[in-house]
Amino acid sequence: MPDLLTEPPAIDPVYEARVYCNIPTIAERSMEGHAPHYFKLVSVQVLIRHGDRYPLYAIPKTKRLDIDCMLVPSRKPSHPHLEAFIKHMSKGSAAQMDGSLSSLPRYPSHSLCEMGELTQTGVVQHLRNGQLLREIYINKHKLLLGDWTAKQLYLETTGKSRTLQSALALLYTFLPDFDWKKINMRHQWSTIFCSGSCDCPMRNHYLEEEQRRQYSLRVKNNDLEKIYVDMAKIVGIPTRQLRASNPMDSLLCYFCHNVTFPCTKTGCITMEHFKVIKRHQLEDERERQEKKLYFLYALLATHPFLNQTVNRLQQIAEGKKEEVFVLYSAHDVTLSPVLSALGITEARFPRFAARLVFELWQDGKRPKEHFIRILYNGADVTFQTSFCKDHYKRSNKPMCPLEKLVHFVKRDMFLIFNSTSYYDACRRRAL
């Protein structure tokens, strides 16, 4: 299970960075779609992080990282359907796109990547995701038939080109050559997908506390400070300015694309610099789990999203045939709190093209009974969730009753705040 942190404390920062890059190589093993033969799959909801992208920040006074964001099927990494994907995207004017989404490009096309732009690697990552999900959910489980309708899909993305393009890449291999008239892409303005329930003062409070914790850990790390001082000397800027430019964002792109780290007349940024910063990030992740401030933030940040998810699953369990396949295209700051809120503490920080899947199953022997499975990058994490850990010991079924998730989202998420509702929890401190 490559995306669960089950290793001992001495984690190799270079190995962790490779996992984060998610370079498309051999086909991965996946546990999606596994259930006893008499169970019927009735709904799948997928939350993805966008694929590999160009950095959001540049390291000051270094040469611009030269990465081509044109899609070239003959260049690696590639995909058998990449050429057909490019052709299909050029016909997309018939799709319904909310608001500003219609003005975004449907695939990346700059010979020199723009800041934050999806790369060819990022497109290929989601073409692979879509193909894998198609083999399981369409070919094997017949979740959608050939005459599927627009009402059977629910598609939502943030307003960044990289999330829209990631969604379209996954969708293209999931439903090859789909009819653009059946595509209705909704725009979500919030990166935590809180829609109309974003007013939550205590969520902001816990986020500020969590940011203070991060700062405190960073200033205590002498090795990290020495590395930042050294790197700042190399590029010829004040240490504070280097730190503010978030150098790891750029360095990860160098690393993932196998490009030599930048040099100046004074010297070169090295793998040792990279390792120290990456090691600190991993220590930060571990302390974040222990201190629980992020967990409190996550509960409040993700309740609107999880509540919408649960409402939809309940409606489908009651017989509704619409929105049986749902795709949310989002960011690391979307997936990370969802994993935390669900109690999946062993999950790694979301890599490029990470996917979190909620499967809803109907018991063929007792059709009124419905169960869920939750999978993260193909690994079954259902029984790592806080609401289904104990059920595993008492049940012979490899899944969790839907009611457990419903009770968690509608009631148990608020217990730690001594509250019974989201509105109340957003205005009351935790015990």
Task: Indicate which residue of 50, 79, 126, 303 is catalytic.
Answer: 50
Dump pLDDT digits (tens) for 193-212: 999 999 999 999 999 999 99
For 266, which DSSP code?
Answer: S
Pairing of strands 379-380, 370-376: antiparallel
CA dist 253 to 1, 70, 136, Å?
Answer: 24, 17, 32
The mean of the pLDDT values for the chain is 94
Dump pLDDT digits (tens) for 356-385: 999 999 999 999 999 999 999 999 999 999
Which two three-digit tokens encode residue 188?
A: 């979500």
- Among candidates 165, 189, 379, 197, which has minimal Cα distance to 305? 197
Is 273 annotated as catalytic? no
User: Residue 161 corresponds to which amino acid?
Assistant: S
Dump pLDDT digits (tens) for 217-261: 999 999 999 999 999 999 999 999 999 999 999 999 999 999 999
pTM: 0.95
Residues 6+ apart with CB under 8 A from 423: none
Is 34 annotated as catalytic? no
Q: Are the C-beta atoms of residues 177 and 93 closer than 8 Å to each other?
A: no
Q: How many CB atoms lie within 10 A of CB 244?
A: 12
**CA angle 366-368-372, nearest 5°?**
95
Task: Indicate which residue of 332, 391, 407, 412 is catalytic.
Answer: 332
pLDDT at 391 over 80: no
